[in-house]
Amino acid sequence: MIELRTPTQVEQMRPAGRFVAEVITALSQAADVGVNLLELDALAHRMIRERGAESCYIDYHPSFGASPFGKVLCTSVNDAVLHGLPRDYVLRDGDLLSVDFAASVDGWVSDSALSLVVGTPRPEDLELIEVTGRALAAGIGAARADNRVGDISHAIAEVGRAAGLKINTQFGGHGVGRTMHGDPHIPNDGRPGRGFKLKPGLVIAIEPWFLHTTDQIFTDADGWTLRSQDGSRGAHMEHTIAVTEGEPIVLTAR
């Protein structure tokens, strides 16, 4: 069911957005050569405790997950692009890292993701991150009242296709509110003018993710981490936004 929030409720969601943005920023600053993924998860866990927030991930067990997630953060490295289960892995020079984090503050959820290169970057990785960021901006720009979900999806895909990328639509954006995942689903490709009509009060996470040379993925043996079929690297960007009468509000702006 698609739910719309009142202006008062959107204001009540701002603290969750600010907190998620703070955690994403702290993680991006902490990620460095020699840092273990479990250290990043521990940092996010500590910030949750200090804020009195609640993790959206630790007990999360959807149909596509092998078991409850068990961590508070997704860390996807190189050929992993989504749902990366933190493990005992030390970041190396040139790794492409995506961090995805969602938390609940005062009963309201926000969700955000960021990709970055640790140490010395490959030019093609920087380009992939830049394209993914532009796709996110395009999707947010299309999130206006009286547009449709397909307009967001089309705006994202246009940026990806212009860069020569293929687009996977299995996982994408989603409604956000009292829980992390709700309706509507927002695929990263679609037809303009199709789908649910956007209305003020709709709060959604928009999250383009692209791989260098494929749109095919598989699930790692850990039962969670999604990797590219051909070993190419991926990037993932996400913000939680609220549709208004005018410009969308980016609740997780950093």
Tell me what the mean pLDDT of segment 35-41 comes to: 98
| Band (63; pLDDT cuts 50, 70, 90) | confident
Residue 251 pLDDT > 90, yes or no? Answer: yes
Domain boundaries, the chain: 7-250
pTM: 0.97
DSSP structure string for 173-186 = EEE-SSSSSEEEEE
Q: What pLDDT shows up at residue 65?
A: 87
Count other Cβ atoms within 10 Å, centred on residue 131: 20
Determine contact, residues 111/125, Cβ cutoff 8 Å: no
User: Tens digits of per-residue pLDDT, 146-175?
Assistant: 999 999 999 999 999 999 999 999 999 999
Q: How far apart are CA 20 and CA 220, in angstroms?
A: 27
Cis before residue 187, ω within 30 degrees of 0? no
| Band (197; pLDDT cuts 50, 70, 90) | very high
Q: How far apart are CA 108 and CA 31, in angstroms?
A: 27
Q: How far apart are CA 56 and CA 46, in angstroms?
A: 15
SS3 37: helix
User: Tens digits of per-residue pLDDT, 75-126?
Assistant: 999 999 999 999 999 999 999 999 999 999 999 999 999 999 999 999 999 9
Determine contact, residues 132/206, Cβ cutoff 8 Å: no
Give Cα separations from 8 to 12, 144, 157, 186, 197 (angstroms): 6, 19, 33, 25, 22
Q: How far apart are CA 229 and CA 219, in angstroms?
A: 10
Going by their DSSP bridges, the two strands 239-242 and 203-206 should be labelled as: antiparallel
Backbone angle region of 58, left / alpha / beta, with phi > 0 → left and psi within -120 to 50 → alpha: alpha
| Share of residues in the chain with pLDDT > 90 (%) | 98
Q: What pLDDT shows up at residue 32?
A: 98
Going by their DSSP bridges, the two strands 96-105 and 108-117 should be labelled as: antiparallel
Q: What pLDDT shows up at residue 11?
A: 98
Q: What pLDDT shows up at residue 184?
A: 97
Superfamily of domain 7-250: Creatinase/methionine aminopeptidase superfamily (3.90.230.10)
Q: How far apart are CA 67 and CA 80, in angstroms?
A: 19
